[in-house]
Amino acid sequence: MDFSVIKRAGLLQHEFSSLVPVSRVTVNNWVRGHKAPHPYILGRVQTILKVLEAAIEEGDLPLSKGTTNRSGALKIVMKTTVTRLRS
């Protein structure tokens, strides 16, 4: 599983962890290859990574440096991208 999309999307590990939701430490373990996502959440993790990749391709990510309320902006980008992917 390619977790480099997190960095390419300009996200911090705690921002990605809030999308799954898991702890930042758990995401750090995945990124470093020390552990893999539990099968129970594997599908969700894969889906979120695909949505992030699509948002990067569309130019919606990474967020600009001056973005205030990054959490809210990220939620909007994710919803917009999911809607775009479904249509």
- What's the confidence (pLDDT) of residue 48? 97
DSSP state of 60: -
Residue 87 tokens read as: 């249509």
Q: What is the mean pLDDT of the chain?
A: 95
The answer to whether the bond into 39 is cis (omega within 30° of 0) is no
Own/partner long-range contacts of 72-76 (Cβ < 8 Å, ≥24 apart)? 74/11, 74/15, 74/19
Question: Could you give the angle at which helices 39-58 and 70-86 cross, rounded to 10 degrees?
Answer: 90
Mean pLDDT of 4-22: 96
- What's the confidence (pLDDT) of residue 65? 87
- What's the confidence (pLDDT) of residue 40? 96
What pTM does this model have? 0.92
- What's the confidence (pLDDT) of residue 62? 97
Mean pLDDT of 26-43: 97
